[in-house]
Structure 1
Amino acid sequence: MNALLISTGVVALAEMGDKTQLLAFLLAARFKKPLPIILGIICATLLNHALAGALGAWVTTQVSPEILRWVLGISFIAMAIWIMIPDKLDDEQADYSQKFGVFGVTCIAFFLAEMGDKTQIATVAMAARFDQPILVIIGTTLGMLIANVPAVFLGEKFAQKIPMKVVHTIAAAIFFLLGIFTLFKGDQLFS
């Protein structure tokens, strides 16, 4: 259950002000059709995070517990630092052909925007850390929805009312604590 709750909370916080949240605002303003946008977000996130979760689960079978502990601990601390760097939306990612429709455009744009993004890398690390990839995938997907569905419905007004610096600092602190805990209590977690 910790895998689900931590994955959900960390990703929801990490996504605040992220490029995919900005993409959700953009798509909502452009198409004004929330249901296909939300379904596209769900589809893209599940696919992307399932791949990341599978990679995280596979890594645990290939790397010794001691090496895994150090890689994960350092990865979580690196994620804490990365979260403090604000994202900007790449205009090209939101400029897909109309032939795919609202759902297709959302699905493609979100999948591509998440490739190599903080939350994808966090999904790999958390799937390896918790050794419960299904719960991590469900949690990270819920976290994405918690951050992005309100963006679809409330648009830019929502973003203006949230102090992004505070949200990013909280998410960074959680990743940092996960890193420290993994490094110093990892012998109990990975043995």
Structure 2
Amino acid sequence: MEALLTSTAMVALAEIGDKTQLLAIVLATRFKRPLPIILGILGATLANHALAALVGEQAAAFLDGLWFRYLVAASFIAMALWTLVPDKLDEDEARPSRFGPFLTTLVAFFIVEMGDKTQIATVALGARFHSVLWVTAGTTLGMMIANVPAVLLGNQLIKRVPLAKVRIAAAILFLAIGLWLLAQTAGSL
């Protein structure tokens, strides 16, 4: 349960103002068909984050050592710093294709999420919790919590939500988990 709740909270906060959330707004504005866009986000996130959580879990099982636990803790602290940097949507990513809302969203989200901070966080969460299922469920839920309102409300949401404050809250959460993991690892010596 801790893996689910932590993964959900971390990704929901980290996703606010993220490149994929901006992409959701662009797609919603372009296609004006929320259900296929939401389903595309869900499919892409499930696939992407299941792979990321699996990589994290397998890396943790293979590399289970003190130095690896320090590396996971450091990755959460690095994520805290990265979260403070606002994302921008590149022009090429902002132009949806002619393949319809579902397929466009599915492919665009999967590709844009590669190497994104929420994918990296999912790898770290998979390593931390050793649970592909619960981490994938939590990070996917977090993505949907952040992106469904973006699809449904679009630009109105961005105008009303103070993105800088949300980024700071997400950074504090990543930092707290990183410091907690550092303390836990140091305490196991």
- RMSD of aligned alpha carbons: 1.4
Give per-residue Cα distances to partners, 1:110-167, cap 9 Å, x unaligned.
Answer: 0111000000000000010011221010000000000000000001011111111111
TM-score normalised by L of structure 2: 0.96
Q: In 1, Cα distance between the equivalents of 2:57 and 2:123?
A: 8
- Residue 127 of structure 1 aligns with an amino acid whose one-letter code is G
Residue matched to 1:126: 125
**Secondary structure of the residue that 1:87 maps to in structure 2?**
coil
Residue matched to 2:47: 47
Q: In 1, Cα distance between the equivalents of 2:172 and 2:115?
A: 21
Asked if structure 2 preserves the Cα contact closer than 8 Å seen for 1:28 and 1:153, the reply is: yes
The answer to whether 1:14 aligns with 2:18 is no
Alpha carbons of structure 1 residues 174 and 150: separation in structure 2 relative to 1, 3 Å:
same
* CA drift at 1:90: 1.3
Asked if structure 1 preserves the Cα contact closer than 8 Å seen for 2:27 and 2:96, the reply is: no
- Residue 162 of structure 2 aligns with an amino acid whose one-letter code is P
Q: In 1, Cα distance between the equivalents of 2:136 and 2:39?
A: 16
* CA drift at 1:97: 3.0
- Residue 63 of structure 1 aligns with an amino acid whose one-letter code is L
Residue matched to 2:116: 117
Asked if structure 1 preserves the Cα contact closer than 8 Å seen for 2:8 and 2:140, the reply is: yes
- Structure 1 residue runs of 5 or longer lacking an equivalent are none
* CA drift at 1:43: 0.4
* CA drift at 1:188: 6.8
Residue matched to 1:79: 79
The runs of at least 4 consecutive aligned structure 1 residues that moved more than 4 Å come to none
* CA drift at 1:82: 0.1
* CA drift at 1:187: 5.8
Q: In 2, Cα distance between the equivalents of 1:91 and 1:22?
A: 11
TM-score normalised by L of structure 1: 0.95
Q: In 2, Cα distance between the equivalents of 1:169 and 1:97?
A: 34
- Structure 2 residue runs of 5 or longer lacking an equivalent are none
Q: In 2, Cα distance between the equivalents of 1:6 and 1:64?
A: 21
What does 1:1-191 correspond to in 2, within 5 Å? Answer: 1-98=1-98, 100-186=99-185
Q: In 2, Cα distance between the equivalents of 1:3 and 1:96?
A: 34
Asked if structure 1 preserves the Cα contact closer than 8 Å seen for 2:48 and 2:113, the reply is: yes
**Secondary structure of the residue that 2:154 maps to in structure 1?**
helix
Identity over aligned pairs, percent: 53
Asked if structure 1 preserves the Cα contact closer than 8 Å seen for 2:30 and 2:96, the reply is: no
Q: How many pairs does the alignment contain?
A: 189
Asked if structure 2 preserves the Cα contact closer than 8 Å seen for 1:49 and 1:137, the reply is: yes
